Amino acid sequence: MPCANCKCPFNELRAENGPFSADGVLCMLSTAVQDTRFARGENLFLQGQTSSSLYSLTSGMVKIWSHDTDGREQIVGLASPGKLLVGLQSLNDPRYIYSATAATEVHACRINHRALLESMRDRTDIAIRLIDAVNTQLAHSRALMQAMGHKCAAAKIASFLLLMAPGSKQGNGRFQLPFSRLEIAGLLGLSEETVCRMMANMKRSGVIHAPRGSIEVKDRGRLRAIADGAAREHPAA
């Protein structure tokens, strides 16, 4: 089945016309996949629901969240197009252990759990691709944990923005930021006031531009230095 999702871990590379043919790529799991779309705010699945599918994103961003002991929503992860599979942690669980909500409009491939596992019995290359996806999940989780770890507030926010920013690690650019300052604060363990103040400092010093609903990285090298603790953001005099 031709597919436009060239970043999915289960695409078939075709070399006749380069890495991908003009009409897309072939899916290794054609009988297990359904093309689907979600509006912003729509749930892909909810914590506690029967676990039946995982999702490979073609476009958009998904918020991973759960309820804390007080019943409040807590963002625990993010997903964007790539080898990261939404719902992967619940592959062998009868119910989803967290919720996934479209933070933007989302285009995704819905992959049936049972069909995926059955395909792995006959094709070791599919199993290898799944292992690759697991490794990507672990790397993403480590990056998010580092952003949430024992860093100063400015370093946490800079790490988060770098994790969110698409494209080359060397280039600058603008991307949609579908999370409120309050949601970022909850994810990073900071107060909303601190997030607003630190981002305002970065904006004043020319590191970022923050038009409503998006972020433009003006100086990625400086932002990286802040994330690494090699630079500090001070309020403008």
Query: Could you tell me the two tokens for 3?
Result: 């597919």
Q: What whole-number distance in Å separates Cα of residue 229 and Cα of residue 183?
A: 23
pLDDT beyond 50 at 211: yes
Q: What whole-number distance in Å separates Cα of residue 156 and Cα of residue 168?
A: 20
Pick the more confident residue, 226 or 117: 226
In this prediction, residues 232-236 reach a mean pLDDT of 48
Percent of the chain predicted with pLDDT > 70: 80
CATH 1.10.10.10 in the chain, residue ranges: 149-227
DSSP 45-98: E-TTSB--EEEEEEES-EEEEEE-TTS-EEEEEEE-SSS-EETGGGTTSSB-SS
Q: 90-145, pLDDT tens digit by residue?
A: 877 899 989 999 988 999 989 888 888 888 877 888 788 778 777 777 777 777 77
pLDDT beyond 70 at 19: no
Pick the more confident residue, 203 or 113: 203
- Confidence band of 30 (pLDDT split at 50, 70, 90): low
| CATH for the 2-141 domain, from 2.60.120.10, 2.60.40.1930, 3.40.50.300, 3.30.565.10 | 2.60.120.10
Q: What whole-number distance in Å separates Cα of residue 109 and Cα of residue 38?
A: 11
Q: 141-179, pLDDT tens digit by residue?
A: 777 776 667 678 999 999 888 888 765 454 557 788 888
Query: Could you tell me the two tokens for 92?
Result: 């062998």
Percent of the chain predicted with pLDDT > 90: 24
CATH 2.60.120.10 in the chain, residue ranges: 2-141
Q: Does domain 149-227 have CATH number 1.10.10.10?
A: yes
